[in-house]
Structure 1
Amino acid sequence: MELQQLSEEQKEFYRTNGYLLDLAPVYTEAEMKQLNRDLQELTKRLEPGETMKDIREWHMSSTWLYEICTHPQLLRYVEGILGPNFYVWGSQFFAKAPGSPDTVAWHQDAYYWPLHPHHTVTVWLAFTDVDEENGAMGIIPGSHKAGLIKHRNVSGDSVLTLELEQGTFNESAAKPLRLKAGQVSLHDDAIVHGSPANPSDRWRIGLTIRYSGTKVKCDLSRAPQFRAYLVNGTDEFLHNPQGELPIEKFARLPKEFHIASADEYESGQ
């Protein structure tokens, strides 16, 4: 299948609004059924008390997950935003079971991450259909242009420890990111986003993948486990430690190798 490139109109929409939706599916329905079976195999590596949210940065240990992160169509979409030279550094599953009260407070990814300059794209790959009924992520279009906004401590059922202060953005402007299984959305590291609970009888499962341009440097004093995997172009800066390719299809990554702890920054949808 011929790879789809972002059009100039799509690139301009992303620059203006900070996100992109309605892209050609990356995986077919049959492929997604197999990926979901594979995901169940991967979850067997979780320890008691862990959930899918604990499958983070396992692209460093699992060839199955690394191959998803380097799918040629994903890389073409990201190249349209970041340009030819970029690396992958983060991945994490976010799953809301039927009836889950878990929410994700309104936040900005870049507020959590020790990366500079801000030049990162998150791909959100839907493993299940996602809509308002089962807790689809919402974004505030254009909010990435406001720079980083002050956050405060949050309580309740949010999986994050910080949230944006009230009055710093217009929640009524939120747009839900509806996706079919196999589709992706892209969003800027500074866009305001969050997600509600899942009161439906359906699972909501998505994989987030983080890509940064090679000019982006990690503060290793805050995230010494950070590893960059060059997946497109060349790394003319060599700012970050390079990761070693995984060799096992399904393998867990010990928690001490996670890029950061959940309390330090855990930005999801």
Structure 2
Amino acid sequence: MLINELPALDTEINISEEQIADFQRKGHTLTPSIVSKDEIAVYRNSINKAAYQYNTEKRALQDRDTYGKAFLQIMNLWMVDEEVKQFTLAKRFAKIAADLLGVEHVRIYHDQALYKEPGGGYTPWHQDQYYWPLDTTQTITMWMPLIDINEEMGMLTFASGSHKAGFVENIAISDQSEKILEQYIHDKQFAIERATAMQAGDATWHYGWTLHSAPGNTSTNTREVMTIIYFADGAKIIPPQNEHQEADRQKWLCGLEPRSLAASELNPLI
């Protein structure tokens, strides 16, 4: 498909003040139908094509560890595919991200396709920002299914209000994070919330510090999800707190030095 034939995704969608306040209170929210059925059908083809072309996971599902069983994870597709680039850099999404965060401008951290295969395992409780060497709490992830999904396919699940506690534990996504953070959530009595179903083109949004997880996929269909991570313009890079943050500093921030602006060529202003 020619790039100029793709839906532009540049029309703005206004989010109510009530929903913004709800997001900032709970740390997550759902925005229905921000991409139309026709638009998502076109982009699903583009994202699927790129995701499977650039997927590097060759092991059988049963041979992977917990992280590997949770999903196929293909990152920064916007850098290698022009059609996906038009999706990832869409002003429609960036405007919603900025409005929910209450900031004027956002930058891209990276995108990633997260495909949970039939029989795919659970995604343990974790905090995304554990991986990000950024000095701001103004970070947000858009999580959009490319097909209609329901609970049995592995619906994203949130611990409401957990973002307000900030950093909890220096631990990567693993069986250990599931055990430790599940106990933490129980002790803090955070309410557990998730949608029962989402349609293609709906999106959930959550802060980088919001604790979240997902059950395994017990259906016969792959849960196709595309995500985009944003952060507020003006954020700076912190000295990495773990090996994963150092890897991210090198990979997604082009090796920029700590205390410099997080504004590499991979982090365009949207």
2:128 corresponds to 1:109: yes
The Cα of 1:227 is off from its aligned counterpart by 3.6
Q: State the identity %.
A: 22
The Cα of 1:135 is off from its aligned counterpart by 0.8
Match of 1:40 in 2: 48
Mark the CA change 1:245 to 1:195 in structure 2 (over 3 Å): closer, same or farther: closer
RMSD, aligned α-carbons: 2.9
Cα distance in 2, alignment partners of residues 214 and 25 from structure 1: 27
Mark the CA change 1:134 to 1:46 in structure 2 (over 3 Å): closer, same or farther: closer
- Post-superposition CA distance 1:172-218 (Å, at most 9, x none): 83111342101111111111100111111222111111100012223
2:190 corresponds to 1:168: no
User: Aligned ranges for residues 150-229 of structure 1 at < 5 Å?
Assistant: 150=169, 152=171, 162-163=177-178, 164-170=180-186, 173-177=191-195, 178-219=197-238, 222=246, 223-227=249-253
2:102 corresponds to 1:66: no
Mark the CA change 1:133 to 1:172 in structure 2 (over 3 Å): closer, same or farther: farther
Match of 2:105 in 1: 85
Cα distance in 1, alignment partners of residues 166 and 263 from structure 2: 27
The residue identity in structure 2 corresponding to 1:15 is Q
Cα distance in 1, alignment partners of residues 267 and 236 from structure 2: 20
The residue identity in structure 2 corresponding to 1:87 is R
**Paired residue secondary structure (2:18):** helix
User: Aligned ranges for residues 252-263 of structure 1 at < 5 Å?
Assistant: none
TM-score normalised by structure 2 residue count: 0.75
Which stretches in structure 1 are left out of the alignment for 5+ residues?
Answer: 229-236, 247-269
Match of 1:240 in 2: 262
The one of 166, 171, 176 aligned to 1:147 = 166
* Higher RCO (C-alpha 8 Å, min separation 6): 1
Mark the CA change 1:240 to 1:63 in structure 2 (over 3 Å): closer, same or farther: same
The residue identity in structure 2 corresponding to 1:58 is L
Alpha carbons 1:4, 1:24 under 8 Å: kept? no
The residue identity in structure 2 corresponding to 1:86 is V
The one of 157, 168, 178 aligned to 1:138 = 157
The one of 12, 22, 31 aligned to 1:3 = 12
Alpha carbons 1:151, 1:162 under 8 Å: kept? no
Cα distance in 2, alignment partners of residues 213 and 152 from structure 1: 24
**Paired residue secondary structure (1:10):** helix
Mark the CA change 1:105 to 1:72 in structure 2 (over 3 Å): closer, same or farther: same
The residue identity in structure 1 corresponding to 2:118 is P
**Aligned residue pair count:** 232
Cα distance in 2, alignment partners of residues 245 and 144 from structure 1: 23
Alpha carbons 1:124, 1:207 under 8 Å: kept? yes
Cα distance in 2, alignment partners of residues 220 and 20 from structure 1: 31
Alpha carbons 1:128, 1:203 under 8 Å: kept? no
The Cα of 1:226 is off from its aligned counterpart by 2.4
The Cα of 1:153 is off from its aligned counterpart by 6.9
Alpha carbons 1:111, 1:148 under 8 Å: kept? yes
Which stretches in structure 2 are left out of the alignment for 5+ residues?
Answer: 1-9, 60-67, 241-245
**Paired residue secondary structure (2:250):** coil
Cα distance in 2, alignment partners of residues 133 and 7 from structure 1: 30
